[in-house]
Each structure stands twice: as structure tokens, then as C-alpha cells.
A and B are shown apart, each in its own frame.
Chain A
Amino acid sequence: MSKRLIDLQHITKSYEGQTILDDLNLYIRENEFLTLLGPSGCGKTTTLRIIGGFETPDMGNVIFDGKNITSLAPNERQLNTVFQKYALFPHMSIAENIAFGLKIKKKSKAYIDDKIKYALKLVNLEGFEKRSVDSLSGGQQQRIAIARAIVNEPKVLLLDEPLGALDLKLRQDMQYELIRLKNELGITFIYVTHDQEEALTMSDTIVVMNQGYIQQIGTPEDIYNEPTNAFVADFIGESNIMDGIMIKDRLVNILDVNFPCVDEGFGNHVPVDVVIRPEDVELVDPESGMLEGDVTSLIFKGVHWEIEVLAHGFEWLVQTTQMHPVGSHVGIRVDPFNIQIMNKPESSDEKAVESDV
């Protein structure tokens, strides 16, 4: 594993009496593509701005490459930001925008020209040097904002919802582009987004945040398949989240039916949260199901059908390739491996889990 490049230690920040971040601890490894993911107001942008130097935490330290940079001004940090609304300088040409940071570092003209060429090529906008900012489309402006940041050879690139203003198709293209860039440059990316699909596609590590607390840190696969709590499960993809009681190891009671599962160590007769992904619910004949229900809605989604089944008072969300007409009586089965058991929130920082669910 590569070394820790940035260490956030006990970061606390509040505005006008409202706590945005509460004792946040996080480290970022060299060459990692790390995404801060969460709903608006979860503190992800504040975290990024603290790393970038635009905010100073009320408490805690930012350690960069072994040095404490908590109170260092943004212009003295070895990292660059790609802003949400690009923040290109409207009174400068594209070349002047890209050259801005290099001129401050007093690089030679030849070096700067080389760098501009290289950066424009990297973002697929060769020959745009002389163009003005407002002659560019949103996607192009975004590429220039990235080019302007990377010519400074930062150790870390901070990206604050950089694709938020683009339309869907362009956003998907840019996702691949960013992954390619990251691989070519070999630097650390810290990416902020509220779009879970974006996070799952691009990241090495995802940090799910809510209300100033980190909910889970893990690989995209971990986050999707094994959410640690109901908030993460609900925020990442669609889920059936139910109250359950852990009867004993490997047996959970949901909606008065006992389901075998694979989780252990929760204790006996303990209330838990249970998550079952819609694609993991199988619809079978009523007789062979673990419980029975009626189809209440049916929507064709292209790849699959999205079906809602009312069973034991709960609306089950099911994704399946088999059609079941509304009103039909069906049975529900879930494979033990696909039942995810989570502790109910107890401590104060886990309370944040509940409110958004």
C-alpha cells in the first residue's frame, strides 16, 4: 500500500452555531482516487475546502506529506482545485488562464508554452490557446479548468462536483476522461459529488458522509455490497430497508418470518436493520416462497422490470427480468448471502444515520 499523503485529524468546523463537521478523521493515500460522497449539507464540500485551504477548521489538523498545513494559505499549498462552476478568469484567454499559476512560479516562457500545449492535448482541446472563455461550452470550460490546475503539477487535485453542471451524456464521457487523466498523471484525486453512480464508477475509495459524520469508508464494491448502516444502503442504490430481529447467529426475523442469513456476532434477540437489494429479491411461485404477496405495480425499465410487491405489510422493491402482471400472487425468496444485517444506531454520531432515511 502507498503512503498516507493527507491526514485529517479531529477536524471540527461550524458556521453560525451550526456544526458542519464534527471530529472528522480521514486519511488519503498517495495516488488514490478518493471520493467524498453524500447529500447536500453533509460536509463534503467543507472538507474539500479545508484541504484546499479556503476554510480553516475550528479544531483539528491537516497534515500534508508529514507537515502540518492547517493554517497555510491556499496559494502556498501543493494542491490545486477544479471548481464546481469552473471559475475561469473571464478577462483572460485560454492560454493565459492555463499559464496563470506557472507565471506566478516565474517559469520560463518556453516552459509555459510547452505546458499549455501539453495540457490542452491532455484534455483534448488542442489549438484552443487564443479562444476566449465565453466562446467555450460548459464541457470545454470544465476541461480548461482541469488543464489550468494540472499544469502546476500538484500532488493532489481537488475536484468539487466538477461535472455537476454538465448534461448526462457529457457527464458520462467526462467520467472516463477523468479516470484516464488520473492514470496518465499518476497523482491523487479527491473528488466531491452527490452522485452515487459517479462515485461508484471512478473511485478507488469512497467516503460516504452525512451531517458532518463519516458513515463508511471503503471500495465501491464494499460500499455497495456491504453498507454498514441504513443511511449508506439507502443512499447508494435502491434498497429494501426493514426492521429485523436477530434471533441468533445466522437467523434473522423479518416481518414475522425467519430468514437464514450469514451474519454472526450480533447476539440473540437483538433489533437490527436489514438491507436487501431489489435485484436480490427473487419472485417465485407462492408455494415455494418464504413469504407471499401481491404485485401492486409494474414498470418496464429497459434492462429489467421494476416490480412492487406488498407482502406482510411491506412494499418490496424487486428488479427482475421476468414479468409479473399487477395483481398476481407471488412468493418471495432471498438467498442468505444477499441479506445484509446492520446494527441499529446507538451512539450520538450514528444518530445522523436516521434522519435522512
Chain B
Amino acid sequence: MYNLKRQLLAGPYLLWMAGFILLPVIMILYYAFTTTSGHFTLLNISSIFASIHLKSLFLSLKLALICTGVCLLLSYPLAMILNKMKEKSQGFIVFIFILPMWMNFMLRILAWKLLLSNNGVINTLLEALGLPALDILNTPSAVVFCMVYDFLPFMILPIYNAMARIEDDILEAASDLGAGAVTVFFKIIVPLTMPGVISGITMVFVPALTSFAISDLLGGGKVLLIGNVIEQAFMQEYNWNLGSGLSLVLMIFVIASMALMSAKGEEGGAGVW
């Protein structure tokens, strides 16, 4: 049954993981705890408490939370509506909603830049309607807009999948036992879609928290997220030790949020893939 020879097939993968996942993490750890001259230090880590770093960390957390919240609020009703559709059209409609996700990440940012810029499409439209212009490019709002756009499918899919897996029998049984629509929703649908919600939250929150490209391109240098601070430490200041230290802090936040989420949803079975 558990034949040893076949297990060896996983060998190349294990070696690859060791070389290109484990080793790089060790490198980050090494840089994070040393000075440029190679001496042990905790300053790279503790520099997160510098006010400018702390500010960007909080801003990152705030924007990531808002983005996750908006995605959840948009996705849940959407998943319910999609789930209720007739079998035939359902596949196609779900397809429509994941298609934009497959458009190149950079181009999606480009599109939003075009839409939001001062003489961009949205403002031209608003002007034509005699409405005041929407001046949000280079503000956190623009960044959140684009993040929601980028990560929305990661929320829709797991929730939709969890919802599609609820058998009609279960819902009928609940109403048979006297539950009205509201009770069915809160006692049956919400708990049963929880694994999907949790996996959606994780899949939106982590990239939103760690993103740097969106804020870089739509924030106009004014929206400094923790990702931007790290990127600049590496690519502009060439301070790899500081960058590694801050990366480590970011990693801790990522791991903590994932641990929190997986503790919340023991099941966690409803991934996107």
C-alpha cells in the first residue's frame, strides 16, 4: 500500500522546496538579525516601531480590512444569487465573474488608473451629467477600489463553492422543522458557508495586506503601505537588513492572520481551486 519506491517520486519536489523555499527564508532570517557588517542585532525588527513604519503598517492593516470587508459584503449576496440560478446558465455566469481575474494584474491596475484619473472616464461621465468630479486618484480610496477589483473573485469563488455544496435536502429539512427564511439563512446557510468565507477572507486579506504595486501606481507616492516601505528598503536604499527585518514582521502578520482564520474555520475545505 504505502510503497516506498513511489514515495521517492516526491524527492525532487522536496529538494526543490528545500532549495528555493526553505533556504530563501533562512536568508531573510539571517539578514533580518544582522547588521550590514554581519553582527547580531534586533534593530531591523524593532525598527517597525519607528513612527513612519508603524504608520504604514497600520495603514496597510486598515486598507486590507476595508478591502476584505467590502469584498465580503459584495460577494456574499452575489454568491447567493448565482447559486439560485438555473443549472444551465449558472456555469456561464460564474465564468463571466471569474474572467476578469485572468486579465493581467498590471493591466487591471492600468484600467483603474484610466478610469479614476482627473480627466479620466469616470470624471468625464460625471461632468457630462453635471455632477462634481471625483478626485480620488493618488488617495487610499483609489488603492482600495483597485484592490477590491483585483481580489473580489478570490472571495466570490470559495463562498460560491461552499454554497453550491449545500444540498437542497438540508434547506428543506430546516424549513420542514419550522425554520423561516431568516432562520434558515442564519442557522444553516451562514454556518455551512463559513469555511468558504474564511478561505475567502484569507485569500483577500493576505494579498491586500502585502501588496505594493497597487499603492505604488495608484497612490502616486502618497500612499505608503508596508509593502512599499519594504520594496523601497530593498530596491532604492539597498538596505537589505532593514528590508528583511520588516519582511519578517510582515510574515508574522500573515502567519498570524492565517492561523486566526484556520482556527476559526476548522474545516477550511472550500478553497478556490
By a beta-carbon cutoff of 8 Å, the part of chain A in contact with chain B is 52-54, 73-76, 80-81, 83-85, 87-91, 100-101, 104-105, 148-149, 152
Contacts and interface: CB of A to CB of B under 8 A. Distances in A.
Interface core residue of A100, A105, A148 (most chain B CB under 10 Å): A100
A103 to B, nearest CB: 9
Contact of A83 (B172, B178, B183): B172
Nearest to A99: B177
Given A81-B173, A89-B173, A89-B174, A75 B167 contact: no
Contacts, number: 63
A75 B179 contact: yes
Nearest to B191: A91
Interface in B176-196: 176-180, 183, 187-188, 191-192, 194
Interface residues of B, number: 18
Contacts of B178: 75-76, 101, 104-105, 152
A90 B192 contact: yes
B173 A104 contact: no
Contact of A104 (B170, B172, B179): B179
10 contacts: A52-B176, A53-B176, A54-B172, A74-B175, A81-B176, A87-B167, A88-B173, A89-B170, A91-B192, A148-B173
A87 B172 contact: yes
B177 A148 contact: yes
Contacts of A90: 170, 192
Contact of B183 (A53, A76, A81, A104): A104
B87 interface: no
A75 B188 CA distance: 14
Contacts of B167: 85, 87
Closest 8 CB pairs of A and B: A101-B177, A87-B169, A87-B173, A74-B175, A104-B178, A75-B175, A81-B176, A91-B191
Nearest to A81: B176
A126 B92 CA distance: 49
A88 B176 CA distance: 12
A49 B14 CA distance: 55
A53 B180 CA distance: 13
B188 to A, nearest CB: 6
Contacts of A87: 167, 169-170, 172-173
A81 B169 CA distance: 11
B191 A81 contact: no
Given A89-B174, A105-B178, A152-B178, 20 more contacts: A54-B172, A54-B176, A74-B172, A75-B180, A76-B178, A81-B173, A81-B176, A83-B172, A83-B173, A85-B169, A87-B172, A87-B173, A89-B170, A90-B170, A91-B192, A100-B179, A104-B177, A148-B173, A149-B176, A152-B177
